[in-house]
Structure 1
Amino acid sequence: MVVIRLARGGAKKRPFYNMVVSDSRKRRDGACIERVGFYNPVAGEKEQGLRVDMLRIEHWTSKGAQMSSTVARLVKQFSAKAAA
């Protein structure tokens, strides 16, 4: 099954997450099919904290990919922010 989830990167105490499309059998930070965005929970005011490629998210969900609950929340947050 194909899933859209967060893969952790960054340094110790400075998390950075890539939003990736991957096979559910792969490890969290393992091989991915495609990177569709990122989330930086410790971004400053002048830094971009969240970016999502909505076209690619729609493409993968139409093909049957399942989003994790955190990714679904972030996508909803990003689309509301983009609409405003």
Structure 2
Amino acid sequence: MSLKIRLARGGAKKRPYYSIVVADARMPRDGRFIEKIGSYNPLLAKDSEQRIQINAERAKYWLDHGAQPTDRVARFLGALDLVKWSHGDNPNKGKPGKKALERIEEKKAAEEAAAEAAKAAAEAPAEEDAE
């Protein structure tokens, strides 16, 4: 049986509250779980002590018995030095897509054309004054 340490959502619509649970990986997100080991309230301030509450002793027990934390829970456990957590590396995530690149190119071309037109307009009256 593969175990996961993950979040189970509770709370009302637009008012999330999560329980940190140990569950069989085949169970649904809010379905049956083995043990509740903590809670997470994302509506509280980030520096609040009640925002994340984890029973570190039970979390360590389940980690020793092969439970795998999800990314979000691994981040919480990393703060308690129970799991080594690091940022994921996706360098392409911040790059614009094809359409955005096309729009940027069109905008640059339009700006260059406008700059050339302004330069030509500025030179034209100077030539008329010389005559």
TM-score after normalising by structure 2? 0.56
Aligned to 1:12: 13
Aligned to 2:68: 66
C-alpha spacing 1:46/1:73, structure 2 compared with 1 (3 Å): closer
- Whichever residue aligns with residue 51 of structure 2, its letter is G
- For the residue of structure 1 that corresponds to 2:8, the secondary structure is strand
C-alpha spacing 1:64/1:12, structure 2 compared with 1 (3 Å): same
C-alpha distance in 1, partners of 2:49/2:57?
Answer: 23
Aligned to 1:57: 59
Write the mapping of 1:25-64 to structure 2, written as runs, cut at 5 A: 25-43=26-44, 48-64=50-66
Moved segments of 4+, more than 4 Å: 44-47
C-alpha spacing 1:75/1:11, structure 2 compared with 1 (3 Å): same
* Structure 1 residue 75 displacement after superposition: 1.7
More strand by share: 1
C-alpha distance in 1, partners of 2:31/2:7?
Answer: 11
Residue-by-residue CA offset, 1:30-76 (whole Å, 9 max, x unaligned): 00000000000002577711100010010001011101011000122
* Identity level (%): 46
Higher relative contact order (CA 8 A, sep 6+): 1
Higher Cα Rg, which structure = 2
TM-score after normalising by structure 1? 0.86
